[in-house]
Amino acid sequence: MAAPTRTERDLTGLLNLAGHTLSNRLSAALAEVGLSARMQCVLVHALEEERTQIQLAALADLDKTTMVSTVDELERNGLAERRPSATDRRARIVAVTDKGRQAAEQGQRIVDEVHASALSALPDGARGDFVRALGVLAGTPKDPGPKPVRRARGR
């Protein structure tokens, strides 16, 4: 019995391999400054505005257990702390410390460098088109703007 003829390259496999490779590079680079991609993502979103753990988990695409352990780690490292919300006494916000702000800034430089390095394999004129095309494939708006990388979770 013969295998079916492929009409296209295995796009799913290529995208998964590229994503895995980029995630590994990013994880290694962030680890050098004591951050994970999850920690970086939570710090950046927490710095944007006052947000609860639940809001941050949704933005970072983290389940509740992973979010709790990520914030625990941020607290242990002095990068953030849980505080009661001023508007909902049942909710806890994640407040970034000065040390956390500095770490997030350093982490964002690393994220930008890793992304620039990955895109440098493409010709200058093709980089923007490539990023926009990935956004279309991922089902995001036309120009979602810069976002921190987040760790994908299994579903």
- Residues 104-122 as b/e (b if ≥16 CB within 10 A, e otherwise) read beebbebbeebbeeeeeee
pLDDT higher than 70, residue 152: no
Domains, the chain: 20-137 (1.10.10.10)
Is the predicted pLDDT of residue 58 greater than 80, yes or no? yes
**pLDDT above 80 for 107:** yes
27 vs 9, which has greater pLDDT? 27
79: pLDDT strictly greater than 60? yes
Tokens of 151: 């760790």
More confident residue, 39 or 90: 39
Q: Is the pLDDT of residue 37 over 50?
A: yes
pLDDT for the residue numbered 52: 92
pLDDT confidence of residue 5:
86
Residue 142: its pLDDT value, please? 53
CA dist., res. 119 & res. 11, Å (int) = 18
- DSSP bridge partners of 146: none
Give, in order, the Cα–Cα distances in Å from 43 to each of 46, 64, 145.
5, 16, 18
Contact 36, 151 (CB under 8 A): yes
Angle between helices 37-48 and 98-119 (to 10 degrees): 120
> What is the number of alpha carbons within 13 Å of residue 86 lying toward its C-beta?
3
Q: 34 pLDDT exceeds 50?
A: yes
- Which positions ≥6 away from 118 have C-beta within 8 Å? 22, 25
> How much is the pTM?
0.80
- Average pLDDT over the chain, rounded to an integer: 89
pLDDT tier at 150, thresholds 50, 70, 90: very low
pLDDT tens sequence across 6-25: 888 888 999 999 999 999 99
